[in-house]
Amino acid sequence: MSAKTLVLFQGTPAERALLLELEGEDFETVELDVADWPESGSAQLEPVAKELGAKAHHRLDLRREVYEQAILPLIHAGGFHRGDPLWTVAADAAAGAALGRFAEELDGARVIGLVEAARALRYVAAGRLAGVEVEFDLRWGSGSGGELEALSRAGVLWGRRIEAEELFEAESDEPFWGEVELDEVFGDDPLPGDAELAEELELEFKQGAPVASMGTQDKGPALVRLLGKTGLRHALGQGLVVCEDEKGVRRRWAVSAPAATLIRVAHRALEEATLTREQLELKDSLVPRYLAGVAAGRWGAPDLRDVEAFLKSSQARVSGDVRLRLCQGTVQALGVRF
């Protein structure tokens, strides 16, 4: 076992306490930037980590990697799995592979983190599929690291779900809103009833990937982030759902996925105009199984990679512009030009 320890560190109080527990050990810290963490985050965290004993602090900017390996395949698939935008599973898979490669560069450093056991397992599995081993140590316990906060403050690129058992009747699969204060769940986000007035925009795709909108030439993560903020103003993609976790256990979740919802509607409208009926039928037969596999934590499995290859091939003709109308929690495709 390597003597070096790599600690996941985003600056939460629990993680600071963890670094104090490691006093006297040879360890370095690493932060994973997968979404909207402030650009100044590393500059703020590095002196804190070093003051608490870290020999060095690293920042892995994974936004492009997460987009290409996680978000783009979900755009091509064009669906949620039982209401879940699958952000957590997909982002963890891409992050886990990158974390494994980075740990290997540090001579096989073991990784410690205050994360959920399911997330640690996704990191390990993704590392193995990428050809590297991640030795993940959970002896220090597990926790959310502060991520189960209001959705508007979660720093999400694609979409997010949080467990919301208290928002449902114990014996029912149906949402029970009752006297729940919705701002406790969605923070400062607009709700469908008080969202902004209707807005229209055009979204351009090239081979199945969004490339421009609203007069900007932002691409990749930057464009998805912009669309997410636009959708958020109109309360897109909010909901309370029941879906299975990676272990097949049914749980109740609150979901906020404005970017995923907006892009999904536009992408499907363009596909219906550019793909043949047979292509659409074949895709629709494969996607449910693919999304179920992703939701089960099998990201990167050979059969899922095969489906991704088909989806990528099918996108060769999916280029054009889609005009959308956003209004009070809904998004509608008004027209397509290709």
Question: In which element (H, E) is residue 186 found?
Answer: helix 183-186
> What does the DSSP 8-state code read for residue 71?
I
Q: How far apart are CA 260 and CA 83, in angstroms?
A: 11
Confidence of residue 140 (pLDDT cuts 50, 70, 90): very low
Pairing of strands 320-327, 27-33: unpaired
pLDDT: is 77 or 151 the higher one? Answer: 77
Percent of the chain whose predicted confidence (pLDDT) is above 70: 75
Confidence of residue 128 (pLDDT cuts 50, 70, 90): confident
Q: What fold does the segment set 5-61+86-137 form as a domain?
A: Rossmann fold (3.40.50)
Per-residue pLDDT, 122: 76
**What rounded mean pLDDT belongs to the chain?**
78
Convert the pLDDT of each residue in 191-245 to its tens digit: 666 666 788 999 999 999 999 887 777 778 888 888 888 888 888 888 777 766 6
Residue spans of the domains in the chain: they are 5-61+86-137, 158-329
Going by C-alpha positions, the residue among 49, 45, 53 that lies closest to residue 25 is 53
Query: Does 41 have pLDDT greater than 70?
Result: no
Give the rounded distance of the alpha carbon of 99 from its chain centre: 16
Per-residue pLDDT, 160: 66
Highest-confidence segment of 93-107, 159-173, 256-270, 294-308: 256-270
Q: CATH class for domain 158-329?
A: alpha beta
Query: Does 124 have pLDDT greater than 70?
Result: yes
What is the pTM (predicted TM-score) of this model?
Answer: 0.80
* End-to-end CA separation in angstroms for the chain: 57
Convert the pLDDT of each residue in 258-299 to its tens digit: 888 999 999 999 999 999 999 999 999 999 999 988 887 787
Going by C-alpha positions, the residue among 33, 18, 105 that lies closest to residue 67 is 33
Per-residue pLDDT, 175: 46
Per-residue pLDDT, 176: 45
Convert the pLDDT of each residue in 54-97 to its tens digit: 999 998 888 888 888 888 999 999 878 777 788 777 778 888 88
Confidence of residue 146 (pLDDT cuts 50, 70, 90): very low
Per-residue pLDDT, 336: 96
Structure tokens at 230: 């636009």
Q: What does each C-alpha distance from 142 to 14, 15, 304, 327 come to in angstroms?
A: 10, 11, 29, 41
